[in-house]
Amino acid sequence: MALELRRLNQVLITISVIFGSIALILASVGIGSPNWQNTYANTTSGDVYIIRTANFFYACRLNSLGVVLRCAERSSNNSILQYYSIQAPGSQSVLNFHLNTASGFSIIGILFIFFGTIVTLSMFCGDRAEWIYPVAPTFTFVACLFMLAGLAEGSRVLLYNGYAAYLYETAHVLTIFSFLISSIVGGCLFRPPPKSQ
Specify if 41 maps to a domain: no
Specify if 44 maps to a domain: no
Specify if 39 maps to a domain: no
The pLDDT, as a whole number, for residue 119 is 93
The pLDDT, as a whole number, for residue 88 is 61
The pLDDT, as a whole number, for residue 4 is 77
Specify if 78 maps to a domain: no
Specify if 179 maps to a domain: yes
Domain range for 135 = 2-34+86-189
Tally of CA atoms within 13 A in the half-sphere of 31 that contains its CB: 23
The pLDDT, as a whole number, for residue 2 is 67
Q: What is the CATH number of the domain that holds 132?
A: 1.20.140
Specify if 158 maps to a domain: yes
Q: Are 70 and 60 in contact (CB under 8 A)?
A: yes
The pLDDT, as a whole number, for residue 77 is 56
Q: What is the pTM of this model?
A: 0.87
The pLDDT, as a whole number, for residue 1 is 60
- SS3 sequence, the chain? CHHHHHHHHHHHHHHHHHHHHHHHHHHHHHHHCCCCEEEEEECCCCCEEEEEEECCCEEEEECCCCCEEEEEECCCCCCHHHCCCCCCCCCHHHHHHHHHHHHHHHHHHHHHHHHHHHHHHHHHHHHHCCCHHHHHHHHHHHHHHHHHHHHHHHCCCCCCCCHHHHHHHHHHHHHHHHHHHHHHHHHHHCCCCCCCC
Integer Cα distance of 171 and 56 in angstroms = 17
Mean pLDDT, each 10-residue run in order, the chain (197 residues): 78 94 96 88 82 85 81 66 62 82 95 95 78 91 96 89 93 96 88 71
Specify if 81 maps to a domain: no
* Count of domains forming the chain: 1
Specify if 132 maps to a domain: yes
